[in-house]
Structures are given as C-alpha cells and as structure tokens.
Amino acid sequence: MAFGSGETDPSQSPGGGSQARTAPLNQVTFSRRELDRILDLYGRKVAAGEWRDYAIDFLKDRAVFSVFRRTSEVPLYRIEKNPKLARRQGAYSVISATGLIVRRGHELDRVLRSIDVSLSLVAN
C-alpha cells in the first residue's frame, strides 16, 4: 500500500509495536512486589465490601495509590511512596481522607498493617 507525503505506516510508528514502555527517569513508581502487596490488600477489602475503586498516580516526587469506597467520593486512604523521605521517616505512608498520616515507615508491609485490620481469635 502506498502512503502519501507526510503519512507513515502505523506499524512503523516509533511508539507502538513490541517495544516495552518504561516510566520516565524522573517519575517515581511502585515496584512489582510493592504493587502486588497493595493489590492483595485491595482485593481482600473489595471482597469484604469495604472498598470499590482505586487510582494510581505516578508523580515526579512520589507514587500514590488511592482507594475509594465510591468512585464519586474522596479517597478513603492514600498509600504513598516518597523516596525523599526514605532515610528519615520512611518512604511509605498511609494517609486518611482527612489528611491525617495514619502510619509512616520504612517497610511497606508494616505500614499497610495499619489499615489491614483482620479479625483475630482469642483463645482461652
């Protein structure tokens, strides 16, 4: 098929095809392990009927995973990764809908435990 001047074959476009997409160098993202842990918690909360929607934002200074009870509301919690705070308070934090920092720390699992309240049986 012949293409006119200025037209190119869509299969030859530089952005498409089998090339893997990577994040820009100046963008903070969650690793696969971090995202697996967050989505595991999210799945259990959805199954329990507590959460219904989520959003992920990758910004220059932090990555944010927001969870919603309803799509039209403000997020119940924001799980943030801010590498600039890694040596001080810790890179991970859970922030409530009111802006209160629920927990901050160096390990994602410990930070997520603050919102992953599961029932425990007390043995006599």
Task: Write down the pLDDT at residue 122.
Answer: 62
Task: Write down the pLDDT at residue 124.
Answer: 64
In the chain, how many domains are there?
Answer: 1
Task: Write down the pLDDT at residue 66.
Answer: 94
Task: Write down the pLDDT at residue 16.
Answer: 47
Q: Which residues of the chain have pLDDT under 70?
A: 1-25, 118-124
Task: Write down the pLDDT at residue 103.
Answer: 93
Task: Write down the pLDDT at residue 89.
Answer: 87
Classify residue 42: in a domain, yes or no: yes
Classify residue 63: in a domain, yes or no: yes
Classify residue 96: in a domain, yes or no: yes
Q: For residues 50 and 46, give the distance between their C-alpha atoms in angstroms, rounded to a whole number.
A: 6
Nearest partner of 105 among 116, 90, 115, 94, judged by Cα = 90
Residue with tokens 């006599």: 124
Task: Write down the pLDDT at residue 11.
Answer: 42
Task: Write down the pLDDT at residue 118.
Answer: 64
Task: Write down the pLDDT at residue 52.
Answer: 92
Domain that holds residue 67: 32-112
Does residue 28 contact residue 59 with C-beta atoms inside 8 Å?
yes
- Residue 74 β-bridge partners: none
Classify residue 25: in a domain, yes or no: no
Q: For residues 66 and 76, give the distance between their C-alpha atoms in angstroms, rounded to a whole number.
A: 7
Task: Write down the pLDDT at residue 56.
Answer: 93
Task: Write down the pLDDT at residue 1.
Answer: 47
Task: Write down the pLDDT at residue 55.
Answer: 93
**Would you call 63 helix, strand, or coil by DSSP?**
strand
The secondary structure of residue 85, as a DSSP letter, is: G
Nearest partner of 61 among 26, 37, 99, judged by Cα = 26
The pTM for the full model equals 0.72
